[in-house]
Amino acid sequence: MQQANAPVLQQATPALTLRGVSKSFGAVRALANVDLDLRRGEVTALLGDNGAGKSTLVKILSGVHPADAGVIEFDGNEVSITSPTAARDLGIATVYQDLALCDNLDVVANLFLGREHGTLLLSEEAMEERALELLHQLSAKIPSVRTAVAALSGGQRQTVAIARSLVGEPSVVILDEPTAALGVEQTAEVLNLIEKLRDRGHAVMLITHNMADVHAVADTAVVLRLGRNNGVYSLADATAEEIVAAITGATDNTVTRRAARRPRHPSTDRPTNPEPTGEATP
């Protein structure tokens, strides 16, 4: 296990370390002995097929479910994450796929929901100033921080959700399928945001199904399969085929067979376009 999952990059102490984390729901073993390292200034993609245990892992880290067994270390200290508040206080922020924004409230109110500035009265000005600062750091394009979130586009809403996760200056930011519901342009914007998060020094965990996103922004890919670790890959060396093979659990699968049918370009190792046959004119 240790050899197979030896971290690819060893340059810094991980912000968050999981060792042997397990979780069962009744008779179903959702996670078995999972290891994970998240480092600051690095994007770690968490990959896996449906049912691989990605969501369960996210829920353990964000305090929705406690782990049954295993050790979670935060900055080298063993911690237990018992509630969403505990996760937030530790500095683990999660951006859920459904974003969980209040449509009727404006951007500022959403950013600071549950941790408003001010003691007796809200100090709107302090919050608005901080909101502008955060959105500026993310180079976000929001028409006004005083518009209701309902009036924003999908990408803008995603931006607000990500900016909200930064309000408490967390060490770890978990993004659950951030591009799943977005178009091409908005996906690119969110990928830019993820790079901004990395450059800000957060340890970013990206859960996604989209291999293009993984190759675009991730430094490391951690693959789960049927609730177990199935490899840790540095995106600098690993090919897409290796990672897909780890996700599906076989080197011979529909994805590789599809790829094999198409000839590869010798220098880029990418499938080339099929030779023009002459009958199909553009």
Partner 1 sequence: MSPTSATSARPLHSQGERPAQEAGIAGSVRGFASRVRAGDIGSLPIVIGLVLIWGIIQGLNSSFLSSRNLVNLATQCAADGVIAVGVVLVLLVAQIDLSVGSMSGVASAVLGIGLTSAGWPLPLAIVLALAMGALVGLVYAVIFVRFNVPSFVVTLAGLLALLGLQLQILGKHGSINLPFGSAIVGFMQRMFVPAGLSYVLGALAVALFIGSRLARARRRRAAHLPSGSAVTLFVKAGLLLVGLEFGCWYLNMTRGVSLPFMLLVVLVMIVDFLLKRTKWGRSVYAVGGSVEAARRAGIKLWRVYISVFVLCSTLAALGGLMSAGRLSAASISSGTGDTNLNAIAAAVIGGTSLFGGRGNAYSALLGIVVIESIANGLTLLSLTSAVRFMITGGVLMIAVIVDSMARRSRAAHGAA
Residues near partner 1, by CB under 8 A: 84-85, 88, 96, 98, 100-105, 109-110, 113-116, 118, 120-126, 128-129, 132-133, 135-136, 140-148, 150-151, 153
Report the residue number, 94 or 248, with the smaller CB distance to partner 1.
94
Considering beta carbons, is residue 6 or 100 the nearer one to partner 1? 100
Extract long-range pairs of 211-214: CB within 8 Å, 24+ residues apart: 211/240, 211/243, 211/244, 213/45, 213/179, 213/187, 214/45, 214/47, 214/243
- To partner 1, the closest distance from the beta carbon of 175 in angstroms equals 15
Task: Please report how close the Cβ of residue 142 comes to partner 1 at its closest, in angstroms.
Answer: 6
Of the pair 106, 213, the CB lying nearest partner 1 is at 106
Supply the Cα-derived Rg of the chain in whole angstroms. 21
Cβ proximity to partner 1: between 115 and 265 the closer is 115
SS3 117: coil
CA dist 162 to 143, 176, 187, 194, Å?
Answer: 17, 11, 13, 9
Give whichever of 144 and 254 is closer to partner 1, judged by the CB atom: 144
We find the least distance from the C-beta atom of residue 182 to partner 1, in angstroms, to be 14
Q: How far is the CB of 169 from partner 1 (least distance, A)?
A: 16
CB of 98 vs partner 1, minimal distance in Å: 8
For residue 157, how many other CB atoms are within 10 A of its CB?
Answer: 22
- Dihedral angle sign, alpha carbons of residues 211, 217, 222, 224: negative
CB 42 within 8 A of CB 220: yes
SS3 57: helix
**Least distance (Å) from partner 1 to the CB of residue 245?**
36
Name, in order, each residue with C-beta under 8 angstroms of 35's C-beta and a sequence gap of 6 or more. 1, 5, 18, 19, 20, 21, 229
How would you class 66 by CB atoms within 10 Å of its CB: exposed for 0-12, middle for 13-18, buried for 19 or more? middle
Smallest gap from Cβ 164 to partner 1, in A, equals 9
Neighbours of 244 (CB within 10 A): 19
Map tokens 């990928």 to a residue.
191
Residue 143 C-beta: closest distance to partner 1, Å: 6
- Among residues 19 and 117, whose Cβ is nearest to partner 1? 117
Query: Of 101 and 214, which has the nearer Cβ to partner 1?
Result: 101
Q: How far apart, in whole angstroms, are the C-alpha atoms of residue 60 and residue 142?
A: 32
Intra-chain end-to-end CA distance of the chain, in Å: 52
Residue 150 vs 212, nearer CB to partner 1 = 150
